[in-house]
């Protein structure tokens, strides 16, 4: 193989001519070099992102690194080799990563890495994972990434929060996977990771309160009862007033309790009934300045959502972020109740971080169906909260690992703030969207054919996407897989 005398042959890209029986596959990592009079020997490293045999066997190489950093073109006729060992590390900039974590396995069965600085907030944060549901294994990769983060050098200082949205898929992560094969265990060893389930996992369901009534009022969680994007200005004014009064009531109440006058509130139903009883009162403290029709619309929505979340708010709440991994089960809840839980968890986490005196531990927040909570069009409190996470979360030690089928349907400020991009199998029409401009045309086409377990990854320090495979889960992802205790 040698550098072809075919344009372009520049410091940024060149072609390699291949003579059979040699082969050069898409995604191969290659290197070449040339001697110069003024700069000595220059080494070029790159990745094959197109291959064509129409007239000659030509492979297009996108340059990833030049050493020394002198931007001269390679010389046609120079021999080209597959990059192995130190050359591969340099080609992918792994040698320059002070702290790195496994990202998966390359085609040559060697580990690929992420620079931890772009995940834990030191230089960047946030991950976006896209792909077809059921085929792209988005949640599986997000869990593998979380597992890898937990086993990084400073991993003992990190925490994870994940929302379970499908059946009981994520309710057995503390148990081993009985489908694991010896070859799967070898993959973990190859990546330098232990092969075991998650440890110190807390599960939160919908059968007991997550928040106390005091927290519900003090944190203005009632706002997440109203997540519609078509609310009028009058409705928003009334909701603001309702949230403000609830906060005032909570602050005026004895510590840990919620009182309306001299009456201790024991349930969300009791609280909503007390608010509803004042809807016709023009002097109502709850709806000062709102018209009767607006007040009626507010209490209709208030009672409608409260009926589905009444078990989640009570005299005492149990949601605490003090375990290594917290799994919050949403799959039994209605859509409005799911939105309330997601918004309230984000709000609770943000308030905890903003009030912390010491530097908080890094918390990785895994949220699937991101397009539902942060849609490209519209507004709403959850969308705004996710924008805050994307833009300010890094400074508070919060990293969002968001996943969705179509990244093109997520608000650009959320996707654009993700330091790491990941895609599994994509639909053909979705792959053509500008959101995936970081993939070359050939890689976009290949993304429509990816098999489960394969992902394209992109990170700031590596100038081209990498195709990786990640190991089979060592933890149970459903009850039928779980090793009996």
> Residues 340, 346, 352, CA angle at the centre, nearest 5°?
130
> Hey, do 2-87 and 95-208+318-481 end up sharing a CATH topology, with the first three levels equal?
no
3 state DSSP class of 63: strand
Q: pLDDT at position 471, please?
A: 94
**Digitized pLDDT (tens) for each residue of the chain, 485 residues in all:** 999 999 999 999 999 999 999 999 989 999 999 999 989 999 999 999 999 999 899 999 999 999 999 999 999 999 999 999 999 999 999 999 999 999 999 988 899 999 999 999 899 999 999 999 876 589 999 999 999 999 987 667 889 999 998 888 899 999 999 999 998 899 999 999 999 999 999 999 878 899 999 999 999 999 999 887 667 788 888 899 999 999 999 999 999 899 998 899 999 999 999 999 988 887 788 888 788 898 899 999 999 999 999 999 999 999 988 899 999 999 888 888 999 999 999 998 888 888 776 667 889 999 999 999 999 888 888 889 999 999 988 888 999 999 999 999 999 999 999 999 999 999 999 999 999 999 988 889 999 999 999 999 999 999 999 999 999 999 998 888 999 87
Output the CA angle 144-435-164, nearest 5 degrees.
Answer: 35
**What's the rounded Cα separation, in Å, for the pair 482 and 475?**
8
CATH number listed for the domain at residues 2-87: 2.40.30
> Structural domain boundaries of the chain?
2-87, 95-208+318-481, 211-314
Give the fold, CATH level 3, of 95-208+318-481.
Rossmann fold (3.40.50)
Q: How many helices (H) and strands (E) does the chain have?
A: 13, 21
Cα separation, 455 vs 468, whole angstroms: 6
Alpha-carbon distance of 6 to 147, in angstroms, equals: 45
Enumerate long-range contacts of 83-89, CB under 8 Å, 24 or more apart. 83/29, 83/30, 83/31, 83/45, 84/108, 87/31, 87/45, 88/29
Across 69-90, b (16+ Cβ under 10 Å) vs e yields eeeebbbeebebeebeeebbbb
pLDDT, position 404: 93
Q: Is the peptide bond between 21 and the residue preceding it cis, with omega within 30 degrees of 0? A: yes
DSSP lists the bridge partners of residue 41 as: 35
């Amino acid at each position: 193989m040698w550098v072809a005398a075919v344009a372009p042959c520049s410091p940024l890209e060149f072609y390699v001519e291949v003579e059979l029986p040699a082969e050069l596959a898409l995604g191969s990592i290659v290197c070449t070099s040339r001697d110069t009079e003024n700069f000595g020997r220059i080494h070029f490293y790159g990745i094959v992102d197109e291959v064509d045999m129409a007239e000659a066997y030509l492979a297009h190489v996108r340059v990833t690194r030049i050493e020394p950093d002198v931007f001269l073109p390679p010389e046609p006729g120079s021999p080209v080799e597959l990059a192995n060992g130190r050359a591969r590390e340099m080609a992918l900039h792994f040698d320059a990563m002070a702290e790195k974590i496994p990202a998966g396995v390359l085609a040559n069965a060697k580990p690929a890495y992420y620079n931890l600085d772009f995940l834990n907030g030191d230089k960047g944060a946030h991950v976006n994972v896209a792909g077809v549901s059921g085929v792209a294994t988005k949640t599986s990769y997000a869990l593998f990434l979380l597992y890898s983060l937990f086993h990084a050098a400073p991993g003992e200082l990190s925490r994870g929060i994940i929302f379970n949205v499908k059946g009981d898929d994520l309710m057995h992560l503390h148990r081993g996977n009985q489908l694991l094969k010896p070859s799967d265990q070898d993959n973990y060893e190859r990546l330098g990771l232990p092969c075991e389930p998650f440890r110190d996992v807390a599960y939160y369901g919908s059968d007991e309160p997550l928040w106390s009534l005091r927290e519900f009022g003090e944190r203005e969680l009632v706002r997440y009862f109203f997540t519609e994007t078509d609310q009028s200005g009058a409705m928003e004014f009334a909701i603001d007033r309702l949230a403000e009064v609830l906060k005032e009531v909570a602050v005026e109440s004895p510590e840990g309790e919620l009182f309306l006058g001299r009456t201790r509130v024991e349930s969300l139903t009791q609280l909503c009934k007390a608010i509803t009883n004042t809807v016709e009162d023009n002097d109502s403290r709850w709806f000062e300045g709102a018209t009767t029709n607006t007040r009626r619309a507010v209490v209709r929505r208030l009672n409608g959502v409260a009926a589905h979340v009444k078990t989640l708010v009570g005299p005492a709440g149990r949601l605490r972020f003090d375990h290594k991994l917290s799994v919050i089960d949403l799959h039994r809840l209605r859509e409005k109740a799911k939105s309330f839980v997601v918004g309230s968890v984000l709000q609770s986490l943000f308030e905890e971080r903003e009030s912390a005196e010491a530097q908080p531990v890094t918390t990785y927040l895994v949220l699937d169906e991101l397009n539902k909570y942060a849609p490209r069009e519209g507004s709403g409190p959850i969308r705004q909260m996710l924008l805050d996470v994307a833009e300010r979360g890094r400074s508070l030690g919060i990293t969002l690992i968001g996943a969705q089928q179509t990244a093109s349907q997520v608000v650009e400020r959320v996707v654009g703030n993700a330091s790491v991009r990941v895609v599994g199998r994509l639909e053909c029409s979705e792959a053509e969207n500008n959101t995936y401009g970081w993939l070359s045309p050939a890689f976009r086409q290949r993304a429509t054919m990816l098999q489960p377990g394969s992902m394209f990854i992109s990170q700031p320090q590596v100038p081209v996407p990498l195709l990786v495979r990640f190991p089979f889960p060592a933890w149970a992802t459903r009850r039928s897989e779980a090793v009996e205790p």
